Copies of this chain bind each other. A is one copy, B any other.
Amino acid sequence: MKIIIDGYGGDNAPLEIVKGSVQAVNEIEDLTVIITGKQQELENCLKKLNYTGNKIEILNAETVISCDDENPAKLIKAMPDSSIVVALDALKQRNDIDAMISAGSTGAVLAGGILKLGRLKGVSRPGLAPLLPTKIDNKGVLLIDCGANADCKPINLCHFAMMGSVYYSSLYNVEKPKVALLNVGVEDAKGNMLIKETFKLLKTLPINFVGNIEARDCMSGDYDVLVADGFSGNLTLKSIEGTLLFVMDHLKNAIKSSTSSKIGYLFMKKSFNKLKEKMNYKQYGGSQFLGCKKPIFKAHGNSDAESILIVIKQAIKVAKNNVNDKIEEIVGSVQIEEN
């Protein structure tokens, strides 16, 4: 198994990326990690971490795509020597590389995935699919699409549903993941035109479609895959993230607000840490850009070594389970007729 990782993506690059990679190769047999980025700096990181093995390779890349530009496709073309493009090019050209990971610009990962790798056979549009925490311990819920496609047609959402179902099934070893449509109400006839049309089509697909759900039930744990257009999915994801940060912020302030609270905190520290862990969506791994010809993962921008390790394990699972083959199979098995 060989994974390539953008060594210069995210807030904690390159050291935490290298650290996570070293942990991965030390822990997992038969794994090689290729890191892209400035050769000398990456070698220094390995030295710092006392890594002397031969399961980490470095692929030199002189520049970095750092910002979420309005036109990431242009950047991908203009910066062939950037850590992310070098990784994507290698993923495309080399048969020995199984998956790619970047904690860098989401726009660049999405644009690069389409431009360099292209779509799986039969998939109308790839979709970005992060995992969110649920009320149930160690059970994530997949939300697809979260921003790759601002304007969608019903057929795109059908493909998101099938891809999400196959992917979730492999990740959690669930035979028939419960797929739901993100909507403004649970009744069959609810929603905007896109969602109403999608609802009818989803009922005909070879997946376990359980109907509409409201956004307030995203994290109930009663569903496995949530389907949305990229605009709505992005708003939902970021509303959840923003609210979690908002509450954690207020909780910190509440603790600091009095001596009595500070004392109370000492008694509650263990419980608080458990809560914090639960709220930490990084533990569920990165977001796969599902539907590209080879597995591409977007790790969180503030990924540390631990979260990089989690995404590497996720990528290995996807590659080993032949998720992409299964996607082509299910998508190819149906004819979707749009009105």
The residues of A with any CB-CB pair to B shorter than 8 Å are 68-70, 135, 147, 150-151, 182, 184-185, 187-193, 195, 214-219, 228-232, 234-247, 249-251, 254-255, 257-258, 260-261, 263-268, 270-272, 274-275, 278-279
Contact = CB atoms under 8 A, between A and B. Distances in A.
A190 to B, nearest CB: 7
A192 B219 CA distance: 26
Given A218-B242, A239-B240, 14 more contacts: A70-B189, A150-B184, A150-B193, A151-B193, A215-B237, A215-B238, A215-B242, A216-B238, A216-B245, A232-B235, A235-B235, A243-B247, A261-B270, A264-B266
Contacts of A216: 238-239, 241-242, 245
Contact of A235 (B236, B260, B261, B271): B236
A275 B249 contact: no
Contact of A230 (B184, B230, B246): B184
Contacts of A229: 192
Contact of A246 (B151, B219, B246, B254): B219
Nearest to A218: B242
B275 A250 contact: yes
A70 B188 contact: yes
Contacts of A195: 150, 231
Q: Which 4 A-B pairs have the closest CB atoms?
A: A264-B267, A216-B242, A264-B268, A239-B239
A272 B257 CA distance: 10
B191 A214 contact: no
Contact of A187 (B70, B150, B250, B274): B70
B238 A214 contact: yes
17 contacts: A68-B185, A68-B187, A135-B246, A184-B231, A214-B242, A216-B245, A218-B242, A235-B239, A236-B239, A243-B244, A244-B247, A247-B279, A250-B278, A260-B267, A261-B268, A264-B266, A264-B267
A216 B251 CA distance: 18
Report the copy number of this chain in the oligomer: 2
Contacts of A218: 239, 242
Contacts of A219: 242-243, 246
A234 B215 contact: yes
Contacts of A278: 250
B264 A182 contact: no
Contact of A257 (B240, B255, B274): B274
A151 B192 CA distance: 5
Given A184-B230, A190-B70, A274-B254, A242 B263 contact: no
Nearest to A219: B246
B232 A231 contact: yes
A147 B150 CA distance: 20
A254 B239 contact: no
Nearest to A260: B267
Contacts of A217: 242
Contacts of A251: 251, 275
Contacts of A234: 184, 215
A301 B62 CA distance: 58
Contacts of A215: 234-239, 242
Given A151-B192, A246-B135, A258 B270 contact: yes
